[in-house]
Chain A
Amino acid sequence: MLDRDNAAFIQTGVSISLAACGPDRLPSMSRGLGCRLEDGGRQVSVFLRRSQSLELIGNILCNGRVANVFSLPSSNRTLQLKGTDARITPFVPDDLSVIERHVADFIVEVLPLGMCEAVVRAILAYRPDDLVTVTYSPSAVFSQTPGPKAGERLG
């Protein structure tokens, strides 16, 4: 589903967001703080701040459907993954290193674009005890890089 190139891409300094929908089809969304792949990319885990994601977590618990976008600000390369089996699991402290690396990579990515580091750090600030993990199996992959091939299904 996720080829090696895209698997590597979503673990770079990309912007990460996750969305779900409630029973009333009202969408919810939050920023992710990094991701980890398992089982050769068949499982994707994204880390969220619970305090910012109560509605999203509620929706995921309700139906397990997620849309997950990864976008590299400097190139606009954008990928959307979808899954139907998302579940919420407690955050594992070992994953803190994944988040720390992601934040560092993201800052390196956006500072040349003129962003203020203190602002970026505020946007990605977290308390470890506020973190949760969302894990799903990507069932569809779409390119969302702006251009003629935007929206093309890759897998």
Chain B
Amino acid sequence: MNLRLDTIRECLEGVIPGHIATCDAEGMPNLAYLSQVQFIDNDHVALSYQFFNRTRQNVLAGSSVRLMLTSHLTGAQYRLTLNYLRTETAGPLFEQMKAKLAGIASHTGMSGVFRLLGSDVYRILGIEQLPGLTVAAPPPAVNYLTALRRATGRLAGCGGLARLLETALDCLGAEFAIDHVMFLMLDESRGRLYTLASRGYPQSGIGSEIPLGAGVIGICARERVPVRIGFMTSEYAYGRSIRDGVEADGHGDSLETAIPLPGLAEARSQMAVPITAYDRLLGVLYVENVADLHFGYDDEDALVAFAAQLGLAMHHHQQAEEQVEDTPTSEELAAAVGGPPMRVRHFVANDSVFLDDDYLIKGVAGAILWTLLTDFVERRRTSFTNKGLRVDPRIRLPGVSDNLEARLVLLQRRLEERTAGIHLTRTGRGRFSLAVDRPLQLISG
């Protein structure tokens, strides 16, 4: 075929509905509208199967399939010839289409009517453009190749995980013109993601959590596939309603709910992209916008390519931070500080830590803080290493794969945001120091 589908993917967004023509065994044609066409690759598309209608009967009876697609940007019309291969009823493709369909249904007043029963996968036998008038497409808002080139160059120059995340989010704003971003890290052992950085929200939401499988972010993580929705839908909201649902299911007892998730109340376009390295999921990059159909296939491709670079860089930094030996260098003992003591209370059941009765953090980051502060108070210790924490039995890290460095970044950010008077400072690769502004009074339980 001469025309490549990846050059006309705007036709698949559903702004102008596609048409599908089939033929029954008696040679009678049938014509229907399509809710959704999903790009798989240049040789394959998937169509949403929602109703067992005449189209589906004809397809299953071996009808050839023709699609008519129209570009809402140029007015160009295309005719595709397809051959049905199979139907998928679960998995990444199905979940991608289900999420997108929820947005389309909501937008077209069809919530509760449109329900994805399957993703019908077709081979593309041919694409032809129909003769006819077209208009010039508007220039794209961003040149993604330039954005990617500049952003990956900036990632390469980062010296640590904290700097890497800051730079990544800065790049999404400056190079990709994406103003609302969250970066969430996978907590594999607890089946959830925690926010480690964000941009474009009044509250950073650092430390807030979302369960695997919940909303756009959770499904992206569970299926390890980009999920993109072009219209507002409550079905895939990631905010409080989802967490309320989780708690109602009885699984919410240990979910971080004290820290609210950031997010736009009126997000119409949402996209979540998995961050992986060497077949392991590390986290999720989430972007959103108040406009309909703000993110398209090109945005998705650009973010996936960027996330691939980010994932490799994160993996590298995690490895590097833990290769430093846990031998104390010229240990500097804590200097005495004055003023009223700050009460630090630790609850061992969930490792939650309160500073002067204000909640700070729980879980692994809570256990790390409590360990650091205990050593600080009992031994006046101020220097620590990632490698030492990794083997410290008091912290009970979930596993070798857990990103300890990310936990430290989370802790550092939470302390900074609360202006708690407790400071964690990087002093070298795999090393950091602890300082306090006031005396500490540690209370257990």
Contact = CB atoms under 8 A, between A and B. Distances in A.
A144 B27 CA distance: 20
A63 B26 CA distance: 11
Interface stretch (A34-42, A93-101, A119-127): A119-127
Contacts of A57: none
Interface stretch (B107-115, B162-170, B207-215, B353-361): B107-115
A90 interface: no
A52 B66 contact: no
A73 to B, nearest CB: 8
Contacts, number: 129
A84 B28 CA distance: 8
A122 B72 CA distance: 10
A19 interface: yes
Interface size class of B (residues with CB under 8 A): 35 or more
Contacts of B110: 76, 146-147
B143 interface: no
A27 interface: yes
Interface of B: 15-17, 19, 21-23, 27-33, 35, 50-51, 53-54, 63-66, 68, 70-75, 77, 79, 81, 108-110, 113-114, 130-135, 292
Contacts of A144: 32-33
B75 A123 contact: yes
Interface string A13-47: 00101111101111111110000000000000000
Contacts of A24: 64
A7 B297 CA distance: 40
B31 A69 contact: yes
A12 interface: no
A148 B52 CA distance: 11
B29 A67 contact: yes
Contacts of A148: 113
Contacts of A51: 131-132
Given A19-B29, A76-B109, A114 B74 contact: no
Given A19-B29, A116-B72, A119-B75, A150 B51 contact: yes
Nearest to A53: B130
A26 B81 contact: yes
Main secondary structure on A side of the interface with B: mixed
A122 B31 contact: no
- Of all A-B residue pairs in the complex, the 4 with the closest CB atoms, nearest first, are A122-B75, A27-B21, A21-B23, A19-B21
A151 B53 contact: yes
Interface bracket on A: 35 or more
A46 B66 CA distance: 20
A118 B30 contact: no
A121 to B, nearest CB: 8
B105 to A, nearest CB: 9
A29 B54 contact: no
Contacts of A115: 15-16, 72
A27 B30 CA distance: 8
Given A26-B64, A116-B135, A122-B75, 14 more contacts: A25-B27, A25-B64, A26-B66, A26-B81, A27-B22, A49-B132, A65-B28, A76-B109, A80-B32, A119-B135, A122-B132, A123-B16, A125-B133, A150-B53
A24 B17 CA distance: 27
A96 B83 CA distance: 38
Contacts of B77: 31, 52, 123
Contacts of A102: none
A19 B30 contact: yes
A27 B54 contact: no
A122 B135 contact: yes
Nearest to A65: B28
A125 B132 contact: yes
B132 A25 contact: no
Contacts of A125: 132-133
Contacts of B131: 51-52
Nearest to A23: B27
B132 A65 contact: no
B126 to A, nearest CB: 11
B113 A17 contact: no
Contact of A17 (B19, B53, B71, B134): B19
Contact of B51 (A17, A23, A151): A151
A87 B137 CA distance: 37
Interface in A59-76: 63, 65-69, 71, 73, 76
B33 A78 contact: yes
A18 B31 contact: yes
Nearest to A52: B130
A27 B81 CA distance: 9
A25 B23 contact: yes
Contacts of A20: 29
A115 B17 CA distance: 12
Nearest to B19: A17
A25 B64 CA distance: 7
Contact of B135 (A29, A31, A65, A118): A118
B28 A68 contact: no
A118 B50 CA distance: 33
